[in-house]
């Protein structure tokens, strides 16, 4: 009788350990970032600002200078006291350096400036999708997800390959949608879904 109880107890213990192991694996898998998210995160750290981006600029202890600023079509932000500051093509850190330098030229000694991107410029999807057009950028978005947001492929679409043009590159690159690594969409990207050949 004792042997049977011990076996049952041991089996229950082993079952519990197995269940906990599976649960741990499921949690690890669930928390892993989707393909393309890491690429997007790395890309956003080196992201170059452009027209359509909206920024929050904070100058510490200077509420009159702190606020939200949009990058204009000319690639500049209109900043109090110092006027137009070029932002197009600069990273956030480069813009912080430019603002700090300009503010320090006769307005403040040792200004402390921070810049945060509130809204990235949109991306575009064209060609053989249900709803081509301009869409707001969401961090971590992949090309497949962008196609889904645009209503999916239409019946003429080549669902295996799309063309991608990434600002400021002038040329499109072909992207294989069946590759093992999903490609992240970046702000300002243009995705063109081609027609398939029968």
Q: Which pLDDT band holds residue 102 (cuts at 50, 70, 90)?
A: very high
Distances (CA, A) of 108 to 82, 111, 113, 195: 11, 6, 11, 58
- Predicted confidence (pLDDT) per residue in 107-162, tens digit: 888 899 999 999 999 999 999 999 999 999 998 899 999 999 999 999 999 999 99
Torsion of CA 184, 186, 192, 193, to 10 degrees: 30
Q: Do the Cβ atoms of 124 and 133 come closer than 8 Å? A: yes
Question: What is the set of domains in the chain, with CATH numbers?
Answer: 51-119 (3.30.1950.10), 123-195 (3.10.560.10)
Find the mean pLDDT for residues 63-92: 94
- Judged against a pLDDT cut of 50, whether residue 10 lies above it is answered with no
Residue-level pLDDT at 27: 37
Residue-level pLDDT at 33: 39
Q: Which pLDDT band holds residue 97 (cuts at 50, 70, 90)?
A: very high
Find the mean pLDDT for residues 64-76: 94
> Greater confidence, 35 or 79?
79
- Judged against a pLDDT cut of 90, whether residue 76 lies above it is answered with yes
Q: Do the Cβ atoms of 152 and 177 come closer than 8 Å? A: no
Please give the mean pLDDT across all residues of the chain: 81
Residue-level pLDDT at 40: 52
Catalogue the long-range contacts made by 102-111 (C-beta closer than 8 Å, 24 or more residues apart).
Answer: 103/59, 103/65, 107/81, 107/82, 108/59, 108/62, 111/59, 111/60, 111/62
- Judged against a pLDDT cut of 90, whether residue 49 lies above it is answered with yes
Pair of tokens at residue 116 = 């945060």
Q: Do the Cβ atoms of 140 and 40 come closer than 8 Å? A: yes
Closest CA to 49 of 116, 104, 112, 100: 116
Displacement of CA 109 from its chain's centroid (Å): 35
Taking the C-alpha atoms of residue 24 and residue 16, their distance in angstroms, rounded to an integer, is 12
> Greater confidence, 35 or 67?
67
- Judged against a pLDDT cut of 70, whether residue 18 lies above it is answered with no
Displacement of CA 68 from its chain's centroid (Å): 20
Residue-level pLDDT at 114: 96
Q: Which pLDDT band holds residue 42 (cuts at 50, 70, 90)?
A: low
> Greater confidence, 5 or 58?
58
Closest CA to 92 of 80, 103, 100, 82: 100
């Amino acid at each position: 009788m004792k042997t049977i109880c011990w076996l049952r107890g041991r089996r229950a213990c082993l079952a519990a350990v197995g269940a906990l192991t599976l649960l741990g694996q499921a949690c690890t898998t669930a928390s892993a970032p989707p393909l393309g998210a890491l690429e997007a995160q790395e890309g956003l750290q080196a992201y170059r600002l452009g027209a359509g981006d909206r920024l929050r600029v904070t100058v510490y202890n200077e509420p009159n200078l702190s606020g939200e600023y949009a990058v204009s079509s000319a690639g500049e932000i209109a900043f109090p006291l110092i006027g137009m500051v070029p932002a197009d093509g600069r990273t956030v850190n480069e813009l912080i350096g430019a603002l700090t330098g300009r503010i320090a030229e006769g307005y403040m000694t040792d200004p402390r400036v921070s810049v945060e991107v509130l809204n990235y410029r949109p991306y575009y999807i064209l060609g053989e999708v249900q709803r081509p057009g301009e869409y707001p950028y969401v961090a971590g978005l992949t090309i497949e997800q962008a196609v889904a947001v645009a209503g999916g492929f239409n019946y003429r679409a080549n669902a295996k390959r799309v063309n991608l043009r990434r600002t400021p590159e002038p040329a499109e690159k072909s992207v294989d949608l069946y590759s093992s690594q999903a490609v992240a969409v970046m702000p300002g990207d243009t995705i063109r879904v081609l027609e398939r050949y029968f």
